[in-house]
């Protein structure tokens, strides 16, 4: 009985001690670093790092992933630092006893006997090296082993281990000293990465190269003694010089920053960027700077048309020049003549014109607006195709007047390219947008031209490769019909090329390039946008502060860069990525009814649209009607005249639920009609 009672109290005491330890563990948990305490790194579509971002105080700390670290390095690290790592629970007592014995025998500290888990405890909770601190590290190590797996402990250690200066973690050190990920290391690189954390400041290769080499040599000897390196390889590697420090990856500066800010919770987002295309783009823009003054900048994008994936983007050509730190692809600028293809495309859709339609290029005033051609000359009767290819202004404004400026601006907005109108524009009809009288960003121009290349369907740009895994078009808007878009692209392909700048590869059978240039008022912005194979390209050049560059046009300054990029895309993109030639079929002949441009079409009813269902939440509810027409319009609903309110707006009050015919009649008697259904309270959808 006495034996059973004693065992009872022993068990009870053990349980009480365990409960106490658990309570203490809960009350004083180890201060694990937060998930966002590591550097972000944006990767390209193939997983290559494009740009890394430091954490607080400019420190580089990249998250370690054992699956991406050389297994030989991991084996060598454990053999050198903690050979029983996978057997102990954070504290290796035999190793502590051995370290104490060796230190006493040598009369100095030979080794500390600390496990990797104990070293991790010291990294997350630094303390002076005392006996009390050692005991706390041992307790923290046990807490870490309870909370984390061995893989997590090793990854966290390799993320936080100091490597001198502002370098923390094996990945940061590998990038800084070897210029690459630690996924395939040589034996001398392995030895250096093991030696540095033991005394990171005293052994920094960039400041103490001799000490770094000696420390690496001692590690190599140890690795050779345990069979992880051949004696000859260790001897050969010991004579190599210390590595020099290198800059961290900083490609796609602006694009990577935009992707990181768009996905703040992702440690290393995989972008849609392609590193080979990105470097080609950056090099091409940098080369162009040699022929410009120090105030000029370039910005450009390469978009994969089918998926809308941004494969390359440069917000500036040089951060050493004014405005270079600004992402100029996301700043509204005057688009010049780059919107003209869409004006004509909408005219094709409306049945107002075709490529062969004749239109007058003669002086003309539109209410208070009188545009002029760029060269101050007029060509008389021209075809729509000729007007677009030579970027004539009067025909473009005439066509926009027929299409309707407000309707055109609204369509661009629905497509994702909402024009930014000047404040002083007031309530005018907005015809100046045809010549660049509204602000658009380079990204928005890219959205529009990608739509033109893809049968007129506008979709948002894609920036993360993971979004393309289960690719399905979302957020689309039919800007132009496929037939009209293809007609416009065919016209642009036949535009005259600048002499001497035809890309060599394009001339040898690569896909033709369809392009359009633009120059803003006062020579502030020069543009070129093009479609080549399966890619859409946009180039802008100018001064970041918007100051003019007298006489510099899109054709002279931006188009050569566009051709150079098209040449680079043809070299780097696999042939399968160049896309299908949608516009290969010959254009149709111009119908006789479209031989001459006529902007006097019947009114275009904007609201209500044909086939719409409108909701009347109460009796007597009125609806304001709207139409695009050159003059006043009279309205009728089922033959009854629609009255106007005090502001002169037509207000239709439906007698009740049902189907109605709403028509608009202009001064010349031309009529348009739509059929609508009015639903009232209590009516559900079928």
Residues tagged active-site: 81, 337
Q: Which residue has the tokens 């420390």?
A: 215
- The beta strand positions in 271-398, using DSSP E, are 296-304, 309-314, 358-361, 380-383
Cα 411 to chain centroid, rounded? 24
296-304/167-168 β-pairing:
unpaired
Q: Which residue has the tokens 């992702």?
A: 266
CA distance 211 to 197: 13
Of the candidates 37, 32, 59, 35, which has an alpha carbon nearest to the alpha carbon of residue 124?
32
Of the candidates 537, 531, 433, which has an alpha carbon nearest to the alpha carbon of residue 488?
531
- Listed in sequence order, the residues at least 6 apart from 364 whose beta carbon sits closer than 8 Å to its beta carbon are 370, 371, 394, 397, 398
Burial of 312 (0-12, 13-18, 19+ CB in 10 A): buried
CA distance 413 to 473: 18
Sign of the alpha-carbon dihedral angle for 571, 572, 576, 581: negative
SS (H, E, C) 352-384: CCCCCCEEEECCCCECCECCCCCCCCCCEEEEH
Tokens of 87: 């057997």
CA distance 538 to 449: 8
Instruction: Determine how many CB atoms are found less than 10 A away from the CB of residue 345.
Output: 27
Q: 559-572 and 275-288 helices cross at what angle (nearest 10)?
A: 150
Instruction: Determine how many CB atoms are found less than 10 A away from the CB of residue 224.
Output: 20
First-to-last CA distance in the chain?
A: 84
Phi/psi of residue 299, nearest 5 degrees: -145, 150
CA distance 553 to 531: 20
CA distance 315 to 327: 4
Q: Which residue has the tokens 């009809």?
A: 429
- Listed in sequence order, the residues at least 6 apart from 39 whose beta carbon sits closer than 8 Å to its beta carbon are 52, 53, 54, 55, 60, 61, 62, 63, 172
Of the candidates 243, 270, 249, 119, which has an alpha carbon nearest to the alpha carbon of residue 185?
243
CA angle 506, 512, 514 (to 5 degrees): 125
Instruction: Determine how many CB atoms are found less than 10 A away from the CB of residue 237.
Output: 22
Rg of the Cα trace of the chain? Answer: 35
Please answer whether residues 453 and 394 qualify as being in contact, where contact means their C-beta atoms are separated by less than 8 angstroms. Answer: no
Sign of the alpha-carbon dihedral angle for 138, 144, 150, 155: negative
Of the candidates 287, 281, 311, which has an alpha carbon nearest to the alpha carbon of residue 299?
281
């Amino acid at each position: 009985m006495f034996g059973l009672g004693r065992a009872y109290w022993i068990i009870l005491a053990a349980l009480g001690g365990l409960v106490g330890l658990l309570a203490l563990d809960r009350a004083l948990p180890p201060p694990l670093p937060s998930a966002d305490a590591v550097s972000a790194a944006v990767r390209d579509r193939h997983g290559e790092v494009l740009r890394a971002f430091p954490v607080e105080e400019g420190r580089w700390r990249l998250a370690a992933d054992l699956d991406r670290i050389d297994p030989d390095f991991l084996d060598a690290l454990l053999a050198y630092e903690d050979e029983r790592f996978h057997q102990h629970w954070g504290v290796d007592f035999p190793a502590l006893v051995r370290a104490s014995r060796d230190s006493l025998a040598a009369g100095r500290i030979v080794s500390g006997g600390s496990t990797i888990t104990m070293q991790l405890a010291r990294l997350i909770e630094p303390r002076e090296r005392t006996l009390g601190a050692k005991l706390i590290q041992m307790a923290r190590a046990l807490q870490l082993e309870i909370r984390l797996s061995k893989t997590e402990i090793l990854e966290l250690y390799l993320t936080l281990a100091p490597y001198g200066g502002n370098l923390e973690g094996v990945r940061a050190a590998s990038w800084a000293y070897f210029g690459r990920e630690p996924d395939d290391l040589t034996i001398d690189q392995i030895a250096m990465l093991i030696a540095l954390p033991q005394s990171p400041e005293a052994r920094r290769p960039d400041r103490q190269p001799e000490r770094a080499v000696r420390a690496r040599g001692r590690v190599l000897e140890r690795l050779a003694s345990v069979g992880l390196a051949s004696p000859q390889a260790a001897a050969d590697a010991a004579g190599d010089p210390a590595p020099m420090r290198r800059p961290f990856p900083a490609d796609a500066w602006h694009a990577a920053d935009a992707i990181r800010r768009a996905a703040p919770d992702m440690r290393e987002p995989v972008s849609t960027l392609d590193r080979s295309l990105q470097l080609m783009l950056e090099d091409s823009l940098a080369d162009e700077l040699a022929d410009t003054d120090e105030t000029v900048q370039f910005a450009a994008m390469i978009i994969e048309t089918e998926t809308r994936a941004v494969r390359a983007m440069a917000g500036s050509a040089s951060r050493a020049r004014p405005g270079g730190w600004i992402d100029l692809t996301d700043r509204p600028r005057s688009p010049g003549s780059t919107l003209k293809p869409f004006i004509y495309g909408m005219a094709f859709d409306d049945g107002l014109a075709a490529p062969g339609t004749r239109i007058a290029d003669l002086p003309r005033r539109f209410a208070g607006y009188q545009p002029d051609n760029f060269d101050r000359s007029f060509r008389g009767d021209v075809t729509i195709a000729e007007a677009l290819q030579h970027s004539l202004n009067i025909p473009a404004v005439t066509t926009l007047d027929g299409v309707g400026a407000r309707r055109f601006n609204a369509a661009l907005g629905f497509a994702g390219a909402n024009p930014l109108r000047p404040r002083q524009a007031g309530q005018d009809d907005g015809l100046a947008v045809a010549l660049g009288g509204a602000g658009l960003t380079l990204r928005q121009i890219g959205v529009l031209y990608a739509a033109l290349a893809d049968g007129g369907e506008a979709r948002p740009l894609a920036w993360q490769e993971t979004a393309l895994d289960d690719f399905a078009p979302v957020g689309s808007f039919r800007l132009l019909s496929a037939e009209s878009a293809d007609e416009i692209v065919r016209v642009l392909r036949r535009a005259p090329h600048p002499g001497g700048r035809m890309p060599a590869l394009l001339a040898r059978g690569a896909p033709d390039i369809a392009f359009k240039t633009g120059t803003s008022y006062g020579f502030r912005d020069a543009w070129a946008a093009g479609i080549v194979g399966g890619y859409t390209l946009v180039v802008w050049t100018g001064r970041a502060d918007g100051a003019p560059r007298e006489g510099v046009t899109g054709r002279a300054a931006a188009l050569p860069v566009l051709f150079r990029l098209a040449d680079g895309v043809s070299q780097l993109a696999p042939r399968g990525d160049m896309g299908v030639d949608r516009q290969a079929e010959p254009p149709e002949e111009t119908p006789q009814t479209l031989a001459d441009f006529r902007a006097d079409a019947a009114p275009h009813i904007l609201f209500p649209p044909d086939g719409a269902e409108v909701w009347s939440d109460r009796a007597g509810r009125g609806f304001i009607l709207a139409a695009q027409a050159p003059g006043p319009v009279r309205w009728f609903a089922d033959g009854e005249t629609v009255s106007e309110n005090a502001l002169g707006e037509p207000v239709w009050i439906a007698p009740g639920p049902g189907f109605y015919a709403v028509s608009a009649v202009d001064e010349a008697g031309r009529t348009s009609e739509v059929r609508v259904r009015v639903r009232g309270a209590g009516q559900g959808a079928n």
